[in-house]
Amino acid sequence: MTTTPSTGLMTAAKTNTNAAATADQAKTDQSKTDEPKKATVDYESFLKLLTAQLRNQDPLAPMDATQFMTQLAQLSTVEQSMRSNDTLGKVLDTLKSSGMRMDMALLGRKVEVASDQLSLTGGKTEAAYTVDGTPASVKLEVLNSAGSVLYSTPGSLKSGRQVFDWNGKTASGGTVPDGVYTLRVTAKDKDGKALKSATVVSDTVAEVRSVDGASKFVLKNGATVDSGAVLSAS
């Protein structure tokens, strides 16, 4: 069978095009292997792929105009998405900075926080607690840093917020020094099932810190609480 010159040129063109496309694809695959995987679409990578597609298209069968316009529209969408992500990131940073400034306003103020850390100062401390449901028994215990029980007393069986006062006296009649202690509330219903409880303490904000983008309050008693644990301020 005789091959015409035009057929030979067409075959050679397709062969060169396929070889170039294969080489470019190999380079692309290698770069994907060497680079870390990305969770989002990369705008520059998308542009490189579109450019490579245009460069390696068959000159005798060019890309359809409609298809090309569709890919350009996709490219524009990717670009807008990347810019939107950058804008949202800047807005988030601004909000975090604004929130930090608002938290700084609590510095030196007395706050109520959801915490079980008691601050014994001058032989006095106070906390509040609540129990979910109707308790049949409530036990209040004060623990030291080692977890040993220093003081224990029955709690109120009434519903709602209850107040606990402690003067630093231990069960043996001794007195502990000022410092930070833990209040443990153990409540059970009539069937002996444990009930959930919550404790609230009042203290002064001594320091405001930013940890991993979130505000942390260091209380005068040395305890550190999240900003979300603050229930009220005065």
Q: Return the CATH number at 129.
A: 2.60.40.4070
73 and 183 co-located in one domain: no
52 and 118 co-located in one domain: no
The alpha carbon dihedral of 207, 211, 213, 217 has a sign of negative
Domain final position from 52, 69, 103: 103
138 and 161 co-located in one domain: yes
118 and 95 co-located in one domain: no
- The pLDDT score that the predictor gives to residue 175 is 94
Provide mean pLDDT across the span 119-140. Answer: 92
Q: Which residues contact 187 (CB under 8 A, 6 or more apart)?
A: 131, 135, 137, 138, 139, 155, 194, 195, 196, 197
Report the domain count for the chain.
Answer: 2
Structural domain boundaries enclosing 56: 5-103
175 and 226 co-located in one domain: yes
**Angle made by CA atoms 29, 30, 31, in degrees to the nearest 5:** 90
71 and 168 co-located in one domain: no
* Confidence label for 7 from pLDDT (cuts 50, 70 and 90): very low
- The pLDDT score that the predictor gives to residue 86 is 67
Domain final position from 103, 126, 144: 103
Task: Give the pair of three-digit tokens for residue 15.
Answer: 């062969």
- The pLDDT score that the predictor gives to residue 156 is 93
Asked whether 118 and 163 are in contact (CB, 8 A), the reply is no
78 backbone dihedrals φ, ψ, rounded to 5°: -65, -45
